[in-house]
Amino acid sequence: MNPAVTGVTKLGDNEDMGFRLPDAPSDWGNDFFKLGTNFFTELRPTPLPAPYWVGLNTALAQDLGWWETPDHPTEEALALQVFTGNALLPGMQPLASVYSGHQFGVWAGQLGDGRAILLGTTASGQEIQLKGSGPTPYSRRADGRAVLRSSIREFLASEAMHALGVPTSRALCVTGSDTPVRRETLETAAVVTRVAPSFLRFGHFEHFAAQGPANDGGGWRNLERLLAFSLKAYFPECDATELPPAQQATQLLQAVTLRTARLLAHWQAVGFCHGVMNTDNMSLLGLTLDYGPFQFLDGFVPDHVCNHSDSHGRYAFDQQARVAHWNLYRLARALMPLLQDPDSAQTALTEFQPAFEAHYGRLMRAKLGWRQAHEGDGVLMQALLDLMAAEATDYPIFWRRLSRAVAQAPSPEPLNELRDLFLDRARFDAWWASYQQLAGQNRPDGALMLATNPKFVLRNHLAEQAIQKAQAKDFSGVAELLSVLQTPFDEHPEWTHLADFPPAWATSIQISCSS
Ligand code: AMP
Ligand code: MG
């Protein structure tokens, strides 16, 4: 086996296992392909020379049924070519889809998969998409490539989010090639294989709405088609196949509103800053999509802007829910030609805030150790967030230390470690006293807290260290981080250094849209 792959599988994986890829055309469903050519351009990925493995997610390969004890030689060499875009499996029908969108609040017109190519849909309904696999008709003069650095970040982040219970696209692997790719400096190319039931975005609806009513075989007829397709394939909660389009549109908007509200609650609770919440990056299915200049918070700075290119702070951490709601208005507008009754859209959209608050409340209560709501828990939480904001307290470390203080009570040591995080000890003591008062009547569950508040989070500096090693062809840092982030609630004493405070240089890391 290639050393990079051995590195990835070292956490208890069975060394005898390997790739076994689907080999019959009937192994692929290709649902999106059936929508027809108004929705995409058929094309093959552009090959990259001499690819190598950078990271491999054997857990996901196993879920897909592609990682087995082979009764024939492992197909690793074939997998490497397929997931770099150099070979296709029988039955794959590769395509790049077209969409539009609002970027930084402004209508950007037609966009599309400029560097992503959908290879096909597995029989179990997972779309397999390459990112960075060469130019498409939607590349808009860009090169269709992705660099190693951003590909590693997407690979690790999507698996970290999945392990935290946040809805997200997944990542099967990253392959690299020494082919140069120009960004601010000269870098090298990589391809991420992404996996999700669908990569549909709000922007897909905006695209067909913008075409107007009359377009040869197109326009709003395509909008209607996309609506029926999406509902049937991805929204079992709607059961709307028999309804007229107007009601289907309302149902879809309602369902997307609820899913998006839940997604945003997760982001805020885990401290995830997306960075580019343009409508073309908003998943119709309520998944975290298109990891670019994202960041998991170190210190709790509510108005933190993680994207160096976002000079106005449009996508600041504490603006994300508001922006998601604004984006839902763009989706509602796109559905308007089908809706007939604008009031029904308005009603659907008003469900965002209560759904967000309810789900956020549930997630934050679990962080405090409670499965149920208790009188006063909202005030307690707000007081805590105000305290943390005042001191920019390290967000992951605070929650993990709090979990330990509760789980190991009455041992004084973990509580002292928690208290040590604060400069204003009196203010912390006051908060702790009110927590204890509530805890007296409603015991927080320490085990729940340790299973809710992760020890390991993909901080920028950890990704950066793994990237620097990978740029020197040592992929062990990627494998190590993947293993830890896939089990972020376990103690992993040998990797405790990965749960440390960020070093001083972490604040100098600048993550921009360049990827
Ligand atoms: P993003 O906000 O990074 O998701 O990208 C916005 C749009 O630009 C999408 O349509 C992408 O497909 C496209 N895009 C970004 N980078 C590239 C690239 N290097 N080559 C081609 N298209 C790109
Ligand atoms: Mg995008």
Mean pLDDT, to the nearest integer, of 404-424?
97
CB count in 10 Å sphere of residue 350: 12
Return the ligand 1 atom nearest residue 99 CA: 10
Residue 261 Cα to ligand 1 middle (Å): 25
Q: Is 276 in the pocket of ligand 1 (CB under 6 A)?
A: yes
* Res. 72 pLDDT band, cuts 50 70 90: confident
The pLDDT of residue 217 is: 56
Mean pLDDT, to the nearest integer, of 306-329?
97
Active-site entry in 113, 280, 377, 394: 280
Block residue for tokens 């397709």 = 229
The pLDDT of residue 239 is: 83
Mean pLDDT, to the nearest integer, of 101-122?
98
Q: 10-14, 106-110, 122-126, 257-261: lowest mean pLDDT where? A: 10-14
pLDDT tens digit sequence for 321-345? 999 999 999 999 999 999 978 899 9
**Is there a catalytic annotation at residue 303?**
no
Helix pair 342-350, 320-339: axis angle to 10 deg = 160
The closest ligand to the CA of 512 turns out to be 1
Length of the chain: 515
Residue 410 preceded by cis peptide, ω within 30: yes
d(CA 498, CA 113) in angstroms, rounded, equals 35
Q: Is 281 in the pocket of ligand 1 (CB under 6 A)?
A: yes
d(CA 429, CA 420) in angstroms, rounded, equals 11
Q: Taking 70 as the threshold, does the pLDDT of residue 10 lie above it?
A: no
Residue 150 Cα to ligand 1 middle (Å): 12
The closest ligand to the CA of 138 turns out to be 1
Q: What is the CA radius of gyration of the chain?
A: 23
Going by alpha carbons, the residue nearest to atom 8 of ligand 1 is: 114
Q: Is 290 in the pocket of ligand 1 (CB under 6 A)?
A: yes
Q: Which amino acid, one-letter code, is at 490? A: D
The pLDDT of residue 295 is: 98
C-beta of residue 307 within 8 angstroms of C-beta of residue 313 = no
pLDDT tens digit sequence for 262-307? 999 999 999 999 999 999 999 999 999 999 999 999 999 999 999 9
Going by alpha carbons, the residue nearest to atom 14 of ligand 1 is: 114
Q: Is 142 in the pocket of ligand 1 (CB under 6 A)?
A: yes
C-beta of residue 74 within 8 angstroms of C-beta of residue 18 = yes
Top-confidence residue, 133 or 213: 133
d(CA 251, CA 339) in angstroms, rounded, equals 10
C-beta of residue 373 within 8 angstroms of C-beta of residue 357 = no
d(CA 173, CA 179) in angstroms, rounded, equals 18
Q: Taking 80 as the threshold, does the pLDDT of residue 218 lie above it?
A: no
Q: Is 187 in the pocket of ligand 1 (CB under 6 A)?
A: no
Q: Is 143 in the pocket of ligand 1 (CB under 6 A)?
A: yes
DSSP 372: S
Mean pLDDT, to the nearest integer, of 452-462?
98
Helix pair 377-391, 352-367: axis angle to 10 deg = 80
The pLDDT of residue 14 is: 63
Q: Is 111 in the pocket of ligand 1 (CB under 6 A)?
A: yes
Residue 284 Cα to ligand 1 middle (Å): 18
pTM of the model: 0.96
Probe residue for ligand 1, chosen from 48, 98, 111 as the CB with the greatest number of ligand atoms within 8 Å: 111
Mean pLDDT, to the nearest integer, of 55-66?
96
3-state secondary structure of 413: helix
The pLDDT of residue 382 is: 98
3-state secondary structure of 52: strand
Of 83, 97, 91, 86, residue with least CA distance to 172: 83
Q: Taking 60 as the threshold, does the pLDDT of residue 178 lie above it?
A: yes
Going by alpha carbons, the residue nearest to atom 13 of ligand 1 is: 114
φ, ψ of residue 159 to 5 degrees: the values are -75, -35
Return the ligand 1 atom nearest residue 103 CA: 2
